Amino acid sequence: FKDWGKHCPKWPSCKIFKLGIETPEIFAQKITKLLTEKNIFKIYIAAPPDQATTVANFRYEIQKIDAKFEVLVGTDAEKLLEARRSLLFPNCSFLKKHFNNIFSITEQEICFHSKLFIRADQSTWSGNIRQERIAWAAQNSTSENLELSKVLDLKLD
């Protein structure tokens, strides 16, 4: 479980993790239903790098449900960011050394600017983005934030 699920089984949100691992097709069905209702067909899935296989399964299941969904994931953004770094700053040791932190901040910005942000329950990373979006929306825009447990209709105790 490494990063994303490292607190299992202590946290109630582990039900979400278990659902995603064991039945990604149900996870995908609920996500695509919500997004279709909101007329959203471009998705970015942010997750810790050690969950790349799980995220790839989500992408596969979402696109299997409906090919009109464009699903981008961390590995897509990571390749683009690394290509830009290599092209523009090939010898910058700071960027090489801190690439993981820079990538995490890049993902936070992608999520911050989204029309809809579905946050992972009990994730401080997601919680920080949610708080920024709430503060920004109070003055500037109408962006929506939802908890993943509500989207998946899971009761967390």
Residues of the chain with pLDDT under 70: 1-13, 140-142, 154, 156-157
Sign of CA dihedral 5, 108, 37, 136: positive
